C-alpha cells in the first residue's frame, strides 16, 4: 500500500496531463466528420509517407557515418580520442533550435560558408542553398544521431571477444572474411537496435525539420503543428497525432525487443585488449579521414554559431551604407532592448527570464513527482515493474502531440488553463519526468543495503547512517536529475511552440521567431540567443556527466 502512495502523485499527474489530453485529441477527432474525410486521410498519408522516407534516409546516412565511427572508437587509439568522443555526445542533448541555428550559421544564406564564397568570388547571391532543402534536414539528423550508433554499436564492438576474430583467422578466414562471417553477425543485433532508435528519433523529429526544412517538408510532426496552429484544423491534427502515436508505439516495441536480444550475445571483455594504434597506411588513412570528418561534422556547426553571434558581416535591415564588418557585441546588447516599444513585444531577454522560470518550476515538479517513484523502482516489486512502462510512455508520444493535447484539453472550463503560463512548465515536466526518474533510480538502487548494515554494525545511528551512506549518493543523483530536467525544459521546442503565448516567449520560441524574420539584426539576435542556450545546455550536460555514477548505463 505504501508503494502505491509513492506512485500516486506521478500517476495522477500522468493521468491529468498525458492520458486526458490524449483522450481529448481522440475525442476531437472521432467527434468530427473531418477525421476520416478523404482529404484528411490524404494529408495524413502524404505526411506519413514523407516522414518514413526522410527517417529511413536519415537513418541510412547516420549508419554510414556512425558505423565506421563506432569501429574507429572501439578499435583504434589516437590523440584527442576522449575529446572527440565527448564532442560526438554533445549534440544528442542540444536543443533542436540550437542545432538548427548552428547549421544556419554555417550553411545558411547568411552563414560562414556562403559569406566566404560570396566575398571570395564576388557573387551577388549565396551560392550554397542547402537550407530549406531535404539535405539540411538529413545533415542535422546525422549530426544528432551519429552518437547513438557510436555508443550502441561501439559498446558491442568493445565487448566483443577479439579472440572470436582471431579464431576465424586461424581457421583460414582472411581479415575481411572474418569480419563478415563473425564480427558482423555478432554485431547485427546492436546495429539493428541502434538503427531502430535512430529511426525513431528521426521519425519524431520536429524542430530541426521545421527550422531547417521549412513548411514545405511536412513530416507528421510539422503537419500537426501547421494544422493545429495555422489552419486551426483540430480534427486533422488529431488524426495525424493518432497516426504518429501508433507508429511510434510500433517502433518502440520493435526497439525494446531488439535490445533484449542484444544483451545475450555480447561477452564482457576488458576494452584494452582490442584498442590499437593505426600502423599500416590503409589504417592510417581510415583513422585520419574519420577523425577529420567527425571533427568537421561536430565542431563546425557548433563553432560557427558562437562566432557568428559576435560577427557583423553585412548590413542590418534599413542600413544602406557600407557597414563596418568585424567583431561586435551588438547582438547581445540588442537582446535587452524593446525595439518596437509595444506592450506585447517584450525585450528578447524577457524570453530568457521566462525560460529560467519555467525550467525552475520543471525541476521542482520533476523531483517532487519523480523521487517517490524512483525510490520505489530502486527496489522494485511486481507493482512497480507493472507501472514502470507507463511512466516511459510520454517519451514515445511526441512533444507536438503533447502540445496539441494540452490545447484541446485545457481550452475550456473546468480546466481553462490555456491562457496561463503554467501550461508550458507542466508540459516540460511531462517530457522531463522520465529522464529525472531514470537518473535517480540507478543511484538509489546502487545504495547497497550491506553498507547500511555495516554502518549500523559499526555503531552509527540511523540518522548518521543516512548522512554517511545515503546522502552522498542521493545528493549527486538529485543534482543530476535536476540538471536533466533543467536542460530539457530550457531547450524544449515541440510542445512550447504550440503552447507559449507571444507575450511569454521562451528562448527556443524566441530564436525561432528571430530566425523567421528578415534582416541582419534579427539574424544576429537569433545567433546570440542560440549561443547562450548552447552554452547553458552544454554546461548542464557536462554537469550530468560529472555526476553520473561510474558504471551506470547510458540510455
Partner 1 sequence: MSGERHKMLEVDGIYKTYEGAPLLRGVSFDVAAGETVCLLGPSGSGKSTLLRIIAGLEGSGSGQVRWDGADLASVPAHRRNFGLVFQDYALFPHLDVAENVAFGLKMQGLGRAEIDRRVAEALAQVNLKGFERRRVTDLSGGEQQRVALARALAPRPRLLMFDEPLGALDRTLRERLLDELRSILHASGVPAIYVTHDQEEAFALADRVMLLHEGRIVQSGAPAEVYARPVSAWVARFLGLGNIIEGKVAGAGRVETKVGVLKVACAHEHARGESVALLIRPGRRNVGDGENSLEGRVTDVVFRQNDFRVTLDNDLYFYLPDAPKVGERIVLQIPLTAVQCLSAKE
Task: Give me the residues that bind partner 1 (CB under 8 A), please.
Answer: 161, 163-164, 166-175, 177-178, 181-182, 185-186, 264-265, 267
350, three cell numbers? 524577457
Q: Minimum distance from CB of 476 to partner 1 (Å)?
A: 34
157, three cell numbers? 564492438
9 beta partners: none
Residue in 504, 452, 443 with CA at minimum distance from that of residue 473 = 443
Residue 277 phi/psi, 5° resolution? -85, 145
166 versus 257: smaller Cβ distance to partner 1: 166
Q: Minimum distance from CB of 241 to partner 1 (Å)?
A: 41
- Spatial contact of 350 and 505, defined as CB atoms under 8 Å apart: yes
- Spatial contact of 209 and 222, defined as CB atoms under 8 Å apart: yes
180 versus 317: smaller Cβ distance to partner 1: 180
Q: Minimum distance from CB of 228 to partner 1 (Å)?
A: 48
Q: Quote the CA–CA distance of 246 and 547 in Å, as a whole number.
A: 36
Q: Minimum distance from CB of 187 to partner 1 (Å)?
A: 10
Q: Minimum distance from CB of 290 to partner 1 (Å)?
A: 24
182 versus 409: smaller Cβ distance to partner 1: 182
165 versus 223: smaller Cβ distance to partner 1: 165
Residue in 96, 102, 110 with CA at minimum distance from that of residue 204 = 96
Q: Minimum distance from CB of 260 to partner 1 (Å)?
A: 15
- Burial pattern 81-104, b for ≥16 Cβ within 10 A else e, equals eeebbebbbbbbbbbbbbbbbbbb
186 versus 424: smaller Cβ distance to partner 1: 186
Q: Minimum distance from CB of 156 to partner 1 (Å)?
A: 12
- At which residue does the C-alpha cell 521545421 appear? 210
264 versus 322: smaller Cβ distance to partner 1: 264
Residue 276 phi/psi, 5° resolution? -140, 165
312 beta partners: 326
133 versus 265: smaller Cβ distance to partner 1: 265
Q: Quote the CA–CA distance of 336 and 334 in Å, as a whole number.
A: 5
Q: Minimum distance from CB of 6 to partner 1 (Å)?
A: 39
Q: Which residues contact 470 (CB under 8 A, 6 or more apart)?
A: 447, 452
Q: Minimum distance from CB of 280 to partner 1 (Å)?
A: 11
36 versus 184: smaller Cβ distance to partner 1: 184
- Spatial contact of 437 and 391, defined as CB atoms under 8 Å apart: yes
Q: Minimum distance from CB of 257 to partner 1 (Å)?
A: 18
State the maximum Cα–Cα separation within the chain, in Å, rounded to a whole number.
Answer: 81
DSSP structure class, residue 76: E
264 versus 458: smaller Cβ distance to partner 1: 264
267 versus 285: smaller Cβ distance to partner 1: 267
7, three cell numbers? 506512485
**Distances from the Cα of 467 to the Cαs of 214, 247, 279, in angstroms?**
54, 47, 52
Amino acid at each position: 500500500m505504501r508503494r502505491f502512495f509513492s506512485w500516486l502523485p506521478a500517476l495522477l499527474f500522468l493521468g491529468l496531463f498525458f492520458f486526458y489530453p490524449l483522450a481529448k485529441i481522440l475525442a476531437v477527432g472521432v467527434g468530427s466528420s473531418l477525421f476520416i474525410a478523404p482529404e484528411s486521410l490524404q494529408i495524413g498519408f502524404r505526411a506519413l509517407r514523407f516522414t518514413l522516407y526522410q527517417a529511413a534516409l536519415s537513418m541510412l546516412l547516420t549508419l554510414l557515418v556512425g558505423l565506421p565511427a563506432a569501429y574507429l572508437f572501439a578499435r583504434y587509439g589516437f590523440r584527442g580520442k576522449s575529446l572527440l568522443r565527448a564532442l560526438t555526445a554533445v549534440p544528442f542533448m542540444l536543443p533542436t533550435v540550437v542545432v538548427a541555428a548552428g547549421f544556419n550559421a554555417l550553411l545558411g544564406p547568411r552563414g560562414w560558408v556562403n559569406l566566404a564564397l560570396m566575398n571570395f568570388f564576388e557573387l551577388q547571391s549565396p551560392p550554397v542553398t542547402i537550407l530549406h532543402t531535404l539535405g539540411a534536414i538529413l545533415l542535422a539528423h546525422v549530426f544528432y544521431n551519429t552518437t547513438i550508433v557510436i555508443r550502441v554499436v561501439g559498446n558491442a564492438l568493445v565487448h566483443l571477444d577479439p579472440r572470436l576474430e582471431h579464431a576465424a583467422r586461424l581457421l583460414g578466414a582472411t581479415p575481411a572474411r572474418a569480419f563478415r562471417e563473425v564480427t558482423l553477425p555478432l554485431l547485427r543485433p546492436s546495429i539493428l537496435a541502434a538503427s531502430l532508435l535512430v529511426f525513431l528519433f528521426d521519425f519524431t523529429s520536429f524542430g530541426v525539420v521545421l527550422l531547417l526544412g521549412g513548411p514545405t517538408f511536412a513530416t507528421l510532426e510539422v503537419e500537426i503543428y501547421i494544422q493545429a496552429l495555422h489552419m486551426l484544423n483540430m480534427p486533422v491534427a488529431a488524426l495525424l497525432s493518432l497516426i504518429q502515436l501508433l507508429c511510434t508505439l510500433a517502433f518502440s516495441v520493435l526497439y525494446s525487443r531488439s535490445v533484449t536480444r542484444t544483451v545475450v550475445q555480447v561477452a564482457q571483455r576488458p576494452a584494452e585488449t582490442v584498442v590499437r594504434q593505426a600502423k599500416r597506411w590503409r589504417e592510417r588513412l581510415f583513422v585520419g579521414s574519420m577523425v577529420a570528418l567527425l571533427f568537421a561534422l561536430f565542431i563546425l556547426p557548433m563553432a560557427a554559431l558562437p562566432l557568428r553571434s559576435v560577427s557583423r558581416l553585412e548590413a542590418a535591415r534599413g542600413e544602406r551604407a557600407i557597414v563596418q564588418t568585424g567583431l561586435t557585441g551588438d547582438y547581445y546588447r540588442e537582446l535587452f532592448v524593446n525595439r518596437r516599444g509595444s506592450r506585447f513585444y517584450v525585450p528578447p531577454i524577457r524570453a530568457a527570464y521566462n525560460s529560467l522560470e519555467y525550467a525552475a518550476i520543471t525541476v521542482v515538479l520533476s523531483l517532487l513527482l519523480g523521487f517517490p517513484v524512483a525510490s520505489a523502482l530502486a527496489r522494485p516489486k511486481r507493482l512497480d515493474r507493472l507501472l514502470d512502462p507507463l511512466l516511459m510512455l510520454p517519451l514515445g508520444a511526441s512533444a507536438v502531440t503533447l502540445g496539441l493535447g494540452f490545447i484541446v484539453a485545457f481550452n475550456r472550463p473546468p480546466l481553462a488553463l490555456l491562457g496561463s503560463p503554467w501550461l508550458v512548465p507542466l508540459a516540460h515536466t511531462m517530457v522531463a519526468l522520465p529522464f529525472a526518474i531514470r537518473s535517480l533510480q540507478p543511484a538509489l538502487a546502487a545504495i547497497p543495503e550491506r553498507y547500511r548494515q555495516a554502518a549500523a554494525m559499526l555503531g552509527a545511528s540511523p540518522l548518521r547512517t543516512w548522512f554517511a551512506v545515503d546522502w552522498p549518493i542521493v545528493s549527486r543523483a538529485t543534482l543530476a536529475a535536476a540538471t536533466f530536467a533543467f536542460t530539457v525544459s530550457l531547450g524544449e521546442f515541440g510542445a512550447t511552440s504550440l503552447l507559449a503565448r507571444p507575450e511569454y516567449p521562451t528562448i527556443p520560441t524566441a530564436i525561432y521567431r528571430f530566425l523567421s524574420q528578415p534582416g541582419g539584426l534579427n539574424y544576429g539576435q537569433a545567433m546570440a540567443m542560440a549561443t547562450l542556450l548552447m552554452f547553458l545546455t552544454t554546461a548542464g550536460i557536462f554537469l550530468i556527466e560529472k555526476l553520473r555514477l561510474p558504471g551506470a548505463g547510458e540510455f
